[in-house]
Amino acid sequence: MKHFFIIFSLLILSSCSVRVDGTLEKDCPPDLWPDYNGVTIPKNIAPLNFSTTSFDSLDRIEAVLKTFDGENYNFSGKNYIDFPISDWREILKKSCGKKLEIFVTEFKNDKKYVYKPFEIFVADSEIDSFLCYRLIAPGYQIYSRMGIYCRNLTDFQQNTVVDNRLINANCLNCHSFCKGNTDLASFHVRGNLNSTVLKNGNEITVCKAVTDKFKLNCVYPYWHPQGKYIAYSQNNTAQAFHCGDANRVEVYDMESRIVVYDIANNKLLTSPELNDKKTFTSEPSFSPDGKYLYFISADSLNMSKHTKEVHYDICRIGFNPLDGSFSKEVDTLVNTSKDSLTSSFPRPSYDGKYLLYTRFNYGQFAIWHREADLWILNLETKENYPLTNANSSNADSYHSWSQNSKWVVFESRRDDGFYTRAYIAYIDENGKAAKAFLLPQQSPEYNRKLMYSFNVPEFATKEFVFDKGVLESKLKSDTKLQFE
């Protein structure tokens, strides 16, 4: 019996080992997937599990993490490195403000490949704990199943906020929170249910935003920092398809204006500067002190005929939160139209220093423009520059700031040109970006197999939840709050 146990143990050990005929020393770091080489990460982020581009042919992969104090942590896996969360958190805790060296060894085709180490810098800074986004198939006319999801950034837990199968397969979009607080939230439901949903704590209000005067729905929301107002744009959008152009589709406005919803008084507020037939105004956002409203503006043209001639600038108008009134003067902060370029989605950092936006060739809808890049306007010095280290050769578009103004999340098509993925970048004290990194997943295979795009990534300070039964009941009810 003893000899049988020894033989059986040897068989088990041999089945778990990898036969190696030769060792090859590579004079370069490994070709990683995702590419985490040289990135800067928050000290509370989920494990950066990774593999290499040899994922499918690997027999085994090993990684040694060497901390600043010289301690080594050893990990291994069949196709990828899966860091235990407890070990990962211990490593990050002792590495704040320092670099990690990671040594990778691949085993494949009876050979051992030893690579030069790559580095990760752990910033002494935390990121907001949650990220909310829509997952949607990257189609043009048919979207099928979609939903809004909330991901815990400190681990891999993703919860469904609302799935559109709950609400007659209608389109869900444009979720927004007041300074990351998911107790104050707004999102829009299209289709036959056609409603604006407001969340205040546990209370859900389903609203009808279309009025006799303003016959368009309220989209692209942004909360006033006091939580008393929500800025919306009202857009009549259409799609056009290019012939022989790298940008397959163009989404454009045929009409747009900006309104501000006074929650307490149930009133839509606007001004001639925000609601003029001679201009298209869209994509509003409030300054952190609540005294200004940022937006984009362009001369109104027949978009279907002059799509490539429409160029938006970034503007600012004064706002009085005491009575909801607007100033009469409009300042142009980013004049991209003079260079026959366009700007979209101005988003101020919460510390008031920077304005992050997307710059591209024409139009408004950056997500379909391969040339779209992230830019920053320094609101103190007026310096205007691209986020070079975060940008890529494909579309980098919709973005959101963390509450401490140290991190931005944005959507990017850099991986394959078809699907948008969520990327995160560190912004240093000079307003410059570090190399962006892909949102970590439990397995590197996740983003290779996921047939949905990440859309409208928004940081949140707490999980986004509400009673789905109450939401369904109120959306399907004939009783809705009519905006005045």
DSSP secondary structure, 63-78, as one string: EEEE-TTS-EEEEEES
What's the pLDDT score for residue 16?
44
Is pLDDT at 255 greater than 80 in this prediction?
no
Contact 243, 282 (CB under 8 A): no
Asked if residues 395 and 368 have their Cβ atoms less than 8 Å apart, the reply is: yes
The stretch 19-38 carries a mean pLDDT of: 90
Strands 203-208 and 219-223: unpaired
Residues in the chain: 484
Virtual torsion, Cα 390, 396, 399, 404, nearest 10 deg: 0
Q: How far apart are CA 49 and CA 84, in angstroms?
A: 10
CB 43 within 8 A of CB 126: yes
pLDDT at 2 over 50: no
Q: Give the CA distances from residue 334 to residues 297, 356, 382, in Å, rounded to whole numbers and listed in that order.
A: 10, 11, 9
Which of the four pLDDT bands, split at 50, 70 and 90, describes residue 320? very high
Q: Give CA–CA dist 334/316, Å, rounded.
A: 10
- Per-residue pLDDT, averaged over 1-15, amounts to 42
Residue-range domains of the chain with CATH = 20-122 (2.60.40.10), 130-475 (2.120.10.30)
Is residue 14 pLDDT above 60, yes or no?
A: no
The mean pLDDT of 409-426, rounded to a whole number, is 95
Report pLDDT for 7: 42
Structure tokens at 159: 């919860």
Concatenating the DSSP letter of every residue in 143-163 gives --SEEEEEEETTSS-EEEEEE
* pLDDT attached to residue 213: 83
Mean pLDDT is highest, among 35-49, 126-140, 232-246, 290-304, for 35-49
At residue 376, the pLDDT reads: 98
Query: How does pLDDT run across 57-101, given as a tens digit for each residue?
Result: 999 999 999 999 999 999 999 999 999 999 999 999 999 999 999
If you average pLDDT over every residue of the chain, what do you get? 90
Q: What pLDDT sits at residue 239?
A: 64
> Which residues 6+ apart lie within 8 Å of 86 measured at CB?
none
Average the pLDDT over 243-268 and give the result. 80
Average pLDDT over residues 9-30: 66
Cα 449 to its chain centre, rounded Å, is 19
pLDDT at position 282:
93
72-97 burial: b if 16+ Cβ within 10 Å, else e? ebebebebbbbbeeeebbebbeebee
Radius of gyration of the chain from Cα atoms? 25
**Which pLDDT tens digit goes with each residue over 95-121?**
999 999 999 999 999 999 999 999 999
So what's the pLDDT on residue 242? 63
Residue 188 has pLDDT above 60, yes or no: yes
- Does 394 score more than 80 pLDDT? yes
